[in-house]
Structure 1
Amino acid sequence: MNYTLRTALQGLWHDKWLNLLCTLTIATSLFLVSLASVAYINIKTISAKLPDRFSITVFLNEDLEEERIKAIISQVQKHKSVKKLKYISREQGLADLRLSLGDADYVLEGIEGNPLPPSLEIGVTRRAVSGDGVGRLVRD
């Protein structure tokens, strides 16, 4: 046992540069594999959460009557791909725009009145988050 340990330590001491190079190679390989794993997990997590944030905004004509708007809302809510539906009036749309612009709301200073039409914000189910699903919702 004593001879084996002494021979191993002598081998490590004589080939120190080779041992250092092997250690650095293994460490670099482990680092790259772990980096790729973390990137994969992050991308998978983000892509799983993305469909929950997907929504469609439908802009309505300004001259639509209140009854027609209610009929449209009722028809859209009945669709199986719709998870949530929010009606946004012209005034609410402008208030939301000002809020989202924050300090850059000076952009709206030269505009007279409210240029935004009323709209519907439609949250869709996970199954509908595709080109075919959205197309089917629009057609219906």
Structure 2
Amino acid sequence: MVHVLSSRVLIRPGDPERSRAFYGEALGLAVYREFGTGPERGTVYFLGGGFLELSGRAEPPVAPGVRLWLQVADVRAAHEELTARGVPVLREPVRERWGLVEMWIADPDGTRICVVEVPEDHPMRVRPGL
């Protein structure tokens, strides 16, 4: 088995400055590190238990099958905060039949992002044997 020490999602945005403004300012992700210089420099953000790296540039569509899943403590509070920052919401928070509360947004290149809350009574919060 491969012993993974760290991981990150790598995105090549169409407009790096616009994407940095979205992830760093609109979503409020904290910067882990930056490297290089100029508009295509790399920026790595903390993403819960992983990292999100924006670096380089690509012509859209950027990986149309890629989705990000961001778990938050309170999706309705996240909804209020993101709409106040001008982030367009593709779908309002809804409790799905599988029990998660999901809201959908997209980054400037169209990468869809699920902002999700795992309710207290959801099986994902129950650890077998504890």
Q: Could you say which structure has the higher helix fraction?
A: 1
Name the TM-score class by shorter chain: under 0.3
Q: Which has the higher contact order (CA 8 A, sep 6+)?
A: 1
